[in-house]
Amino acid sequence: MGVAFTFPGQGSQAVGMGKELADTYSEARAVFDEVDEALGEKLSDIMWNGPEETLTLTANAQPALMAVSIAAIRVMQARGLDLKAKVSYVAGHSLGEYSALCAAGMFTLADTARLLRIRGNAMQAAVPVGAGAMAAIIGLEHGDVDAVCAAASSEGPCQIANDNGGGQLVISGAKSAVEKAAALATEKGAKRAIMLPVSAPFHSALMGPAADAMREALAKVEKKDPLVPVIANVRAAPVSNAEEIAALLVEQVTGQVRWRETVEWFAANSVTTLYEIGAGKVLTGLARRIDKSVTGIAVNGPADIEAALASLNG
């Protein structure tokens, strides 16, 4: 049966992440050193010692999460993992798509770190603080949430940002529009509509300036076709051409992360084991909720890595 590697997105960060990898494996230490050098600062110090509010800043959380994922990948490769031979596809949730592409060789590690720093800063700068918002809508179908977003758009842009599956959708846009949509969702029968403590309305039309910044940044970096296809967030289907992937990464800034459909695509194409590489186990939990035929396995510490290698190389 097929294997895919998935890579977590923002929200999976925690102070201390990656420290055990760095203490245990020289290959992991080298990754954190290279990311620090690429960014011209000790991001690893913030990752391991905090403070949490500094790590949580979008411009830090994005490259930090990628660094933990790639540290785990490099350790596995040093111990005999042949990614192309053992893994059919890669996919990542939002910023995790960059981690996936770095793992698959489309971008260098240093370029990925710099791209994510640019992406984080551009997303933060796209909308004045307080002007945008996001909300989680629990217990409504995709079509119903689409309808409440359309009904609320008289207040400003409002759209589905993440389809996480298991009856959880995240909406994003102008603050007043998102608040209206959340109220309408509750009227429509949503179990819960929760405003999220985020710093910007990610994956909404308001992120247009950030999409422009990423188009410019992606045009300047060297790109190679990935070793294995990526299941692109905005397409929920495999893509193998580097230039096409770069265009989809630009689209992703203002587009929907179609994670439910991504996992459903895996299930429909006999990819039954999803290794979540990096911090936390959010995607592993989502996989279980989306399709019971898919097994999610979180890989973030030394014991997880050894177990995954034994299974993959067995």
CA 281, distance to chain mean position in Å, is 12
Tens digits of residue pLDDT in 189-232:
999 999 998 889 999 999 999 999 999 999 999 999 999 999 99
Quote the DSSP letter at residue 108: -
**Residues tagged active-site:** 94, 203
What SS3 state is found at 204? Answer: coil
What does the alpha-carbon distance between residue 31 and residue 68 come to, in Å, rounded to a whole number?
8
pLDDT score for 291: 96
- Residues 285, 241, 210, 74, CA torsion sign: positive
Dist. CA 162–CA 256, nearest whole Å: 6
User: What pLDDT is stored for residue 181 in this prediction?
Assistant: 98
* Model pLDDT, residue 314: 76
Q: What is the pLDDT of residue 36?
A: 98
- Measured CA to CA, the distance from residue 11 to residue 199 in angstroms comes to 12
- Tell me the H-state helices in the chain: 19-24, 26-39, 43-49, 52-56, 58-78, 83-86, 96-103, 109-125, 142-152, 175-187, 208-220, 242-254, 259-268, 282-290, 302-313
State the pLDDT at residue 119: 98
- The pLDDT, as a whole number, for residue 313 is 87
Rounded to the nearest angstrom, the gap between the alpha carbon of residue 28 and the centroid of all alpha carbons in its chain is 20
In tens digits, the chain (314 residues) has pLDDT values of 799 999 999 999 999 999 999 999 999 999 999 999 999 999 999 999 999 999 999 999 999 999 999 999 999 999 999 999 999 999 999 999 999 999 999 999 999 999 999 999 999 999 998 999 999 999 999 999 999 999 999 999 999 999 999 899 999 999 999 999 999 999 999 999 999 988 899 999 999 999 999 999 999 999 999 999 999 999 999 999 999 999 999 999 999 999 999 999 999 999 999 999 999 999 999 999 999 999 999 999 999 999 999 999 87
Domains of the chain in start order, with CATH, are 2-125+206-313 (3.40.366.10), 132-198 (3.30.70.250)
The confidence score (pLDDT) of residue 265 equals 98
Output the six-digit token pair for 238: 């495999």
Q: What token pair was written down for 26?
A: 């020289």
Q: What is the pLDDT of residues 264-278, one digit of tens each?
A: 999 999 999 999 999
CA distance between the termini of the chain: 13
Provide the sign of the torsion angle of the four alpha carbons 244, 247, 251, 257, taken in this order.
positive
Residue 185: per-residue pLDDT: 98
Type of residue found at 121: N
